[in-house]
Amino acid sequence: MGFAVHCSWLAALLCLHFFGGQVCCDCTEENMEIEGGHYTLTKQLQKGSLLIYQCPEGYYPYPVMTRLCQHNGNWRMAPRRFTPQRCRVVECPDPNVMEYGEVSPPQDKYFVNNVTMYECYSGYTMRGSARRVCLPNGKWSGSTPICSRESGHDCADPGIPAGASRAGNIFGIDETVKYSCNSNLFLVGPIERVCLENGQWSGKEPACYYKHTYDTSLEVSQAFGSSIRESLTTLESLNDTQAGKTIRISKNGTLNIYIAVDISESIEEADVKKAKDAIITLIKKISSFTVDPNYEIVFFSSDLYEVVNILDFFDEKKVERNTIINILNDFQVGQKNTGTDLNLVFKTFLERMAIIKLQVGKEQFKEHRHVFILFTDGAYNMGGSPEPTVAQIKNMVYMNHTVEQEAQSREEYLDIYIFAIGNEIFDDDLQPLVTGLGGKHYFRMKEITELQETFDQIIGKLSLKKTEGRSKNCIGSLVNPYFVLTAAHCFTFGNLPEDVKVEIDDGQGRVKKVKNFIPHPKYKINGKENEGVLEFYDYDVALIQLEEYVQISSFVRPICIPCTQETSDALQLVGVSTCKQQEELLLKNDLERVSFLTKRGTAVDEKDAHAKLGGNRVDCIKHALEAPGITTTDPNVAVTDNFLCTGGRTPFRDHVACKGDSGGAVFKNYEHRTIQVALVSWGTKDLCGSGGGIVESDQTSRDFHINLFRVVDFLKEILGNDKQDEYSTLEFLKD
Ligand SMILES: *[C@@H]1O[C@H](CO)[C@@H](O)[C@H](O)[C@H]1NC(C)=O
Ligand SMILES: *[C@@H]1O[C@H](CO)[C@@H](O)[C@H](O)[C@H]1NC(C)=O
Ligand SMILES: *[C@@H]1O[C@H](CO)[C@@H](O)[C@H](O)[C@H]1NC(C)=O
Ligand SMILES: *[C@@H]1O[C@H](CO)[C@@H](O)[C@H](O)[C@H]1NC(C)=O
C-alpha cells in the first residue's frame, strides 16, 4: 500500500506520465530533512520510492506525512521554503463543546499530556470522565463527559464528542441527532444516531479525528473483537432477540469471511509476512468458536492474487483450517506491480457471492452472512471507485429491498470492516465503504506491525504464564484490561488506593497506579472470632481497579473467569449456556487437577495440586483444625462451601501455596484457553519459609482457595456493570 498516485482530476495528468514508462531521473535528498525527526525511503531515490517522515511519540510530521518520488525526478508535495518540514506536537480535539458544564483550564488548543477537568453546572449530573488527558494518538483518555438532568426523554443525552457539533436536542424515540466535526477534523463513525425503542442510541458514538489521530491496537482489538464476536456467537445461538443488539439468526446460517490485503509496491516483503501472520492469528482465534466459516483470501495491487478461494468450501472437498494456514504461509509475492485496484477486490468478492448464490439457491443464500475484512490505505489509482460495486454487493445481500425498513432488517447480514493502515490514509474514499450494524467498522492504524498484536488480543485467548499483576506480597490475575482479581486479605484495614502498587509482570516491571480496590462486602476477617476461628477467610476476594488500562500483549492477557460468555466459548458450550454447565465441566471429578502460580525473584513457576471434591472433600478439610488460631471442632465453621481444598500426598503429591502466592489464580487449562476457577486464600502450615518457590505438601498440610463460582454475584456487579462507561464490561451469563 502507500505510494500509489491518487487519481483525482488533479493527479490525472501525473498518471498519464506515469504509464508513459519513461525513465527520467532519480529524486534527490535536497531539502528533505525534518526538524525533530527523520525519514525512511522505501526504494532509495528511485521513482516510486516513498519517503516517510518519522517523529517521536507525541509528535507528527507537518505539513506532510510522506512524499512520493515521481517519474520526473521531483517529489510529489515538494518541500516549501516557508513551511519547513518539522515534527509538531500532537493536538487533541477541542473539549470545550460540553453542554451544561465547564472545562478547565480553558485553552485555545490542547496538546499531548495536557490535562482537562470537567464539572457540571448545579442541578446537572455527570456521566463519563471528569478528568481526561490528551494522549499521543490524538485522542482524549476516558469517555466523553456529559452533563444532563432528568428530563423524561426516552434516551439519555448522548453528549457531544470533543471537536464536534451536534444537531438535534430532542431525545424521544425515533428522534435523530447528527454530528459534524469542526475545522481540520473529520468524523469517524456514524454521522447520525437514532433513539431506539429500547431507550438506547443506535450505533456507537462517533469521534473527530485529525489526520494524525490513530486508534491504538488495544482500541481496535476491543472494538473489532466485540463486533466479530457478535457475528460469531450469532451463529451459535438460536433465539436471542436482545433489545438493541443484532437480531439473532438461526443456526442454519453460514458465515462467509472475505479477507483482502493491499500489497502495492511500497509494501516491503517483511510487511507482507506480518500481514500473513496476522491473518493466521485471526483465523485461529475465530476457530475457537464453534462456527466454521468459509474463507476467501486475496492479496492485491493492480493484480489480484487469490490465495484461498471460497468456492472450494462449497465443493465436497472440505477445506481444513490447517490447509488455509499452510497456503497462506506458502504464498509469495512475485513480480510487484505498480498500481492499486481496490475496486477489483470488491468485484471479485461480488462474483464469488453470485456463484455461491447460484450454487446454494436463493432461499439458502438468505441465511448467509458476509463479513469483509480489508487492509489498505485506500490509495487506488486504477479500477475506479469501489463505491458502485459496494452498492451492488449491498443490493445482493439486502435482496433488493427498496423499502428502507426491509433493507434494514437485512443489514446484519453484511459487515464491511476496513483497517486503514499507513502514513497517508485516504479516509474520504475508504470510510463510505464500511457497513454493518453495531460497533465500529473503520479503524485507523499507523503500521501493519500492530495488526498481529491486535488480533492476538482479540477474543481473549491467553497463555496464563504471565498474566499476573502483583500487589504487595500477593499476586493477582488480570480479568480485563482495567481489573486485577486478588485476595481481600492482601489489603489491610485503612489501606488507601495510593498505598497499593500493581506491578505488571510483562518483563518490564511496569507499575500501575490503583484507582480503587473493592473487597467482597461479606469478607470479615474477625467474623468468627467468637466461634473459635481467629482469622476467618470466607469471601476472601477483591478487585483492584487500575487508573489506566494494562496494555495487552503476548505477555499479559486477561484470564477467563466463571459464568462469562467468554468461558462458555472457551469450553465450546453451544447455544445458551449456564453457569452450572460450566461448573459441571470444570469441577466434575472428585479429584480435579488445578494449577496456580508462584513467583521467585523474577521467575514465575506453575504449581500443581488436586482439588478434593465430592466424597474427597470431608477428609481434606478436616485438617483445617490443625491450623494455628483454630479452636473450633467443626472444620465447616472455618472452611465454608465457598472453598476448594488442596494439599496432602495421596493420591498425588500436591504443591503447597506459599505466602506470596496469595490472591493468585487457581486455574485449569482447557483446550487452548486458561480458565480461573478459584483463587489462593489461606493454608494450614507454612512449609515454604521465606524463600517460597515450588514446595511439596506433607501428609496433612492443606490449602484453601475461594471458589469463584461462589462469588459470581460480586464479580458480575463490578465487571458486568454496564451502568458506567469507564471500562468495557464482561458478558456474564444470565444464570
Ligand atoms: C500543554 O501542552 C503544551 C505542549 O506540550 C505545553 O507547552 C503547555 O504548557 C501545556 N499546558 C498545560 C496547561 O499544561
Ligand atoms: C424465542 O423467544 C421468544 C421470546 O422469548 C419465545 O416466545 C419463543 O417461544 C422462542 N422461540 C423458540 C423457538 O425458542
Ligand atoms: C434449518 O434447516 C433445516 C433443513 O435445511 C430446516 O428444516 C429448518 O427449518 C431450518 N431451521 C431454521 C430455524 O430455519
Ligand atoms: C436486483 O436488482 C438488479 C438490478 O437492479 C437485478 O438485476 C437483480 O436480478 C435483482 N435481484 C433480485 C434478487 O431481485
* Residue 360 near ligand 1, beta carbon < 6 Å: no
> Which of 336 and 129 is assigned the larger pLDDT?
129
Q: Which ligand is nearest to the CA of 239?
A: 2
Beta bridge partners of 703: 646, 683
SS3 annotation, 152-190: CCCCCCCCCCCCEEEECCCCCCCCEEEEEECCCCEEECC
Position of cell 494518538?
137
Cell triple for 657: 501455596
Q: How far apart are CA 623 and CA 646, in angstroms?
A: 11
Of 52-56, 379-383, 429-433, the poorest mean pLDDT is in 379-383
Residue 552: half-sphere exposure toward Cβ, Cα within 13 Å: 29
Describe the strand order of the beta sheet including 50-54 as a list of residue ranges. 38-41, 50-54, 66-68
* Contact by Cβ (8 Å): 290, 466: no
How many whole angstroms from 364 Cα to the centroid of ligand 3? 10
Q: Kindly tell me if the per-residue pLDDT of 234 is higher than 70.
A: no
For the beta carbon of residue 566, count every other beta carbon within 10 angstroms.
Answer: 21
C-beta of 239 in contact with ligand 3 (< 6 A): no
Q: Which ligand is nearest to the CA of 107?
A: 1
Query: According to CATH, where is 2.40.10.120 located in the chain?
Result: 464-719
pLDDT-derived band at 16 (thresholds 50, 70, 90) equals: very low
Percent residues over pLDDT 70 in the chain: 84
pLDDT value at 462 more than 60 = no
Closest ligand, as measured to the CA of 734: 2
Ligand 1 touching residue 105 (CB < 6 A): yes
Residue located nearest, by CA, to atom 7 of ligand 1: 111
Give the cell for residue 343: 475496486
Q: Which residue has the cell 443506535?
A: 202
Closest protein CA for atom 13 of ligand 4: 399
Q: What angle do CA 194, 425, 162 make, to 5 degrees?
A: 45
Q: Give the phi and the psi of residue 180 in degrees, each rounded to 5.
A: -145, 160
Alpha helices, H only, 288-341: 321-330
Among all chains, which residue has been given the C-alpha cell 496433612? 700
Give 29's pLDDT tier (boundaries 50, 70, 90).
confident
pLDDT at 220: 84
CA of 322 to the centre of ligand 4 (A): 37
Ligand nearest to the CA of 104: 1
Indicate which residue of 6, 441, 489, 655 is catalytic. 489
Q: Which ligand is nearest to the CA of 58?
A: 1
Q: How far, rounded to the nearest angstrom, does the alpha carbon of residue 176 sit from its chain's CA centroid?
A: 29
Between the alpha carbon of residue 531 and those of residues 152, 336, 524, 626, 637, the distances in Å are: 53, 79, 13, 16, 8
Ligand 1 contact, 133 CB (< 6 A): no
Residue 499 has pLDDT above 80, yes or no: no
25-89: CATH topology: Complement Module; domain 1 (2.10.70)
The amino acid at residue 716 is: K
Question: Ligand 1 center to residue 89 CA distance, Å?
Answer: 10
User: What is the 645 CA–ligand 1 centroid distance (Å)?
Assistant: 56
Indicate which residue of 262, 427, 505, 540 is catalytic: 540
Query: Model confidence at 242, in pLDDT bands (50, 70, 90)?
Result: very low
Q: Which candidate, 460, 459, 452, 422, places its Cα nearest to that of 276?
A: 452
Q: Is 689 exposed, middle or buried (0-12, 13-18, 19+ CB in 10 A)?
A: exposed
Are 253 and 307 in contact by the 8 Å Cβ rule? The answer is: no
Angle at 665 between CA 731 and CA 695, to 5 degrees: 170
Higher pLDDT, 388 or 286: 388
- Nearest-atom index, ligand 3, CA of 238: 13
The DSSP output letter for 395 is H
The closest ligand to the CA of 250 turns out to be 3
Neighbours of 14 (CB within 10 A): 18
CB 469, CB 477: distance < 8 Å: yes
Flag the least confident range among 73-77, 285-289, 578-582.
285-289
Distance (Å) of CA 651 to CA 425, 597, 622, 646, 701: 63, 22, 17, 12, 14
For residue 54 and ligand 4, the question of a CB distance below 6 A is answered with no
User: Which residue lies with its CA nearest to atom 12 of ligand 3?
Assistant: 250
Distance CA 560, CA 478 (A): 9
Distance 241 CA to ligand 2 centre (A): 9
- C-beta of 109 in contact with ligand 1 (< 6 A): no
Interatomic CA distance for residues 342 and 41, integer angstroms: 24
List of E strands, 263-413: 294-300, 304-308, 368-376
- β-partners of residue 257 are 295, 371
Instruction: For residue 283, give the C-alpha cell.
Output: 483465523
- 463 labelled catalytic: no
Single out the catalytic residue among 49, 662, 681, 697: 662
More confident residue, 92 or 734: 92
Query: Of all atoms in ligand 4, which is nearest to the CA of residue 400?
Result: 1
Q: Is 540 a catalytic residue?
A: yes
- Residue ID of nearest Cα to ligand 1 atom 1: 114
**Residue closest by Cα to atom 2 of ligand 1:** 111
Q: Is the pLDDT of residue 408 over 80?
A: no
At 247 the pLDDT is 37
Domain spanning 91-209, CATH class: mainly beta
**Tell me: the pLDDT tens digits for 82-139?**
788 999 999 999 999 999 999 999 999 999 999 999 999 999 988 888 889 999 999 9
pLDDT at residue 424 tops 60: yes
Most confident of 67-81, 163-177, 525-539: 163-177
Strands 110-111 and 91-92: antiparallel
533 closest CA partner among 709, 704, 649: 704
Provide CB contacts within 8 A for 602, sequence distance 6+: none
| CA 252 to ligand 3 center in whole angstroms | 6
CB atoms within 10 A of CB 269: 11
Mean pLDDT on 383-412: 83
Per-residue pLDDT averaged across 26-43, rounded?
87
Please report, for residues 224, 422, 443, 604, the alpha-carbon distance to residue 212 in angstroms, rounded to integers and kept in the order given: 21, 11, 13, 40
- In this structure, the residue with its CA closest to atom 12 of ligand 1 is 114
* Active site annotation includes 489: yes
304 or 339, which is more confident?
304
Which residue owns the Cα nearest ligand 1 atom 9? 114
Angle CA 216–165–422, to nearest 5: 30
Higher pLDDT, 268 or 142: 142
- Given the CA of residue 395, which atom of ligand 4 is nearest to it? 1
Q: What percent of the chain has pLDDT over 90?
A: 42
User: 3-class DSSP state for residue 298?
Assistant: strand
pLDDT tens for 42-54 read: 778 888 788 889 9
Which residue spans of the chain are classified as CATH 3.40.50.410?
A: 241-457
C-alpha cell at 232: 460469531
Band of pLDDT at residue 552, cut at 50, 70 and 90: confident
Interhelix angle 269-287/449-457, rounded to 10 degrees, is: 10
How many angstroms does the Cα of residue 400 sit away from the middle of ligand 4? 6
Which pLDDT does position 508 carry in this prediction? 62
The CATH 2.10.70.10 domain(s) of the chain lie at 25-89, 91-209
Give the confidence band of 238 by pLDDT, cuts at 50, 70, 90: very low
Nearest residue (CA) to ligand 3, atom 3? 252
Nearest CA to ligand 4 atom 8: 400
Mutate to test the pocket of ligand 1, among 90, 94, 114 (most ligand atoms within 8 A of CB): 114
Q: Whose CA is nearest to atom 10 of ligand 1?
A: 114
Confirm or reject: Cβ of 400 under 6 Å from ligand 4: yes
Q: Write the pLDDT tens digit of every residue in 587-610.
A: 999 999 999 988 776 667 788 999
CATH class of 464-719: mainly beta
**What is the Cα 377 distance to its own chain's centre?**
21
Q: How many Cβ atoms sit within 10 Å of the Cβ of residue 278?
A: 22
Residue 23 has pLDDT above 50, yes or no: no
Instruction: For residue 364, give the ligand 3 atom closest to its CA.
Output: 5
- Give the Å distance between the CA of 111 and the centre of ligand 1: 6
Answering whether pTM is above 0.85, one says: no
Which ligand number lies closest to the CA of residue 576? 2
- C-alpha grid cell, residue 515: 484507582
Tally: H helices and E strands in the chain:
15, 35
Does the CB atom of residue 106 touch ligand 1 within 6 A? no
Residue 589 amino acid letter? N
Q: 287, exposed or middle or buried, with CB in 10 Å at 0-12, 13-18, 19+?
A: middle
CA 548 to centroid of ligand 1, rounded, Å: 21
Q: Which residue among 238, 248, 250, 254 is best mutated to probe the pocket of ligand 3, counting the most ligand atoms within 8 A of its Cβ?
A: 250
Per-residue pLDDT at 19: 33
What is the C-alpha to C-alpha distance for residues 261 and 272, in angstroms, rounded to an integer?
9
pLDDT tier at 506, thresholds 50, 70, 90: low
- Size of the chain, expressed as the number of residues it contains: 735
Query: Which residues does residue 128 pair with via DSSP β-bridges, in sequence order?
Result: none
The reply to whether ligand 1 has any atom less than 6 angstroms from the CB of 117 is no
CA distance 374 to 660: 47
The CATH T-level fold of domain 241-457 is Rossmann fold (3.40.50)
What percent of the residues of the chain are helix, what percent strand, and what percent coil, each to the nearest 5?
25, 30, 45
How confident is residue 246, by pLDDT bands cut at 50, 70 and 90? very low
Q: Whose CA is nearest to atom 4 of ligand 3?
A: 252
What is the tens place of the pLDDT at every residue in 249-271? 445 578 899 999 988 765 667 77
Angle between helices 217-234 and 449-457 (to 10 degrees): 50
Determine the average pLDDT of the residues in 634-641: 95
Q: What is the residue with the minimal CA distance to atom 7 of ligand 3?
A: 252
Q: What does the pLDDT look like over 41-96, one tens digit per residue?
A: 877 888 878 888 999 999 999 998 888 888 888 888 777 777 889 999 999 999 99
| Ligand 4 pocket: which of 358, 365, 397, 400 to mutate (most atoms within 8 A of CB) | 400
* Averaged pLDDT, 580-585: 93
